Amino acid sequence: MGAEPARVYVGLGANLGEREVALRKALAALGQCPGTRVLRVSPLYGSAPVDAGGPDYLNAVAEVATALTPEALLQALQAIEQSAGRERPYRNAPRTLDLDILWFGDQVIDTPALTVPHPRMAERAFVLRPLADLVPERVAAATLQAVAAQGIYLLADAGWAEGGVGGECS
């Protein structure tokens, strides 16, 4: 655990099962991780899968303050995914829950387990649009324009996340 909490942006997605319930539970569980607090959540979007099949996704981004290290946060996110029934049968498989660290403060991380900033976020409207809702100054208009053809649609304002079902950080 570090002394100063880092400002972290976490992408949330799900396209199997009770998608919105899974995202709310994930937010609640994330907020219960040691030294971690969910500060804000973007509006909720729907999007067609990118480079994959399956039903449409629900997507959002959470702004989090955490004293966890990047590696510890990654482990916590993977445990939350697993508790939601996440399976990884193949790359880009449909999923009950997907949690990705997009930015971890201003850190640049490149290890076998974790790459931050997220290596494919600039290619994905379902990440950039909700991220731009939270921190428009960090998402260039040209970057958003480059993914404008991807199917993404607003489902609910940021209030969708209120009253999330309680959960534990595993």
Set 98, 124, 129, 133: catalytic member: 98
pLDDT score at 65: 96
Say how many C-beta atoms besides its own lie within 10 A of residue 141's C-beta: 9
Q: How far is the C-alpha of 165 from the C-alpha of 163, rounded, in Å? A: 6
- Rounded CA-CA distance 159/23 in Å is 13
Point out the catalytic residue in the list 24, 86, 124, 129: 86
Known catalytic residue at 86: yes
Closest C-alpha to 124, from 57, 54, 32: 57
Nearest to 1 by CA among 74, 77, 70, 68: 68
With beta carbons less than 8 A apart as the criterion, state whether 157 and 43 touch.
Answer: yes
Q: Is the dihedral of CA 103, 38, 167, 61 positive or negative?
A: negative
pLDDT, residue 165, reads 45
Task: List the beta bridge partners of residue 8.
Answer: 64, 104
117 and 108 Cβ atoms separated by less than 8 Å? yes
pLDDT of the chain along its 170 residues, tens only?
A: 446 899 999 999 999 889 999 999 999 999 999 999 999 999 999 998 877 778 899 999 999 999 999 999 999 999 999 887 666 655 665 678 999 999 999 999 999 999 999 988 999 999 999 999 999 999 999 999 999 999 899 999 989 988 554 555 76
d(Cα 161, Cα 42) in Å, to the nearest integer?
9
Whether 95 is catalytic is yes
Half-sphere exposure at residue 90, Cβ-oriented, CA atoms within 13 angstroms: 4
Out of 24, 95, 124, 129, which one is annotated catalytic? 95
91 as an active site residue: the answer is no
Contact between 73 and 100 (Cβ < 8 Å): no
Phi (first) and psi of residue 18, to 5 degrees: -85, 85
Residue 65 host element (H or E) = strand 57-66
Q: Tell me, yes or no, if 100 is annotated catalytic.
A: yes
Per the listing, tokens 């900033």 go with: 117
Quick check: pTM over 0.85?
yes
With a CB cutoff of 8 Å and minimum separation 6, the contacts of 120 are: none
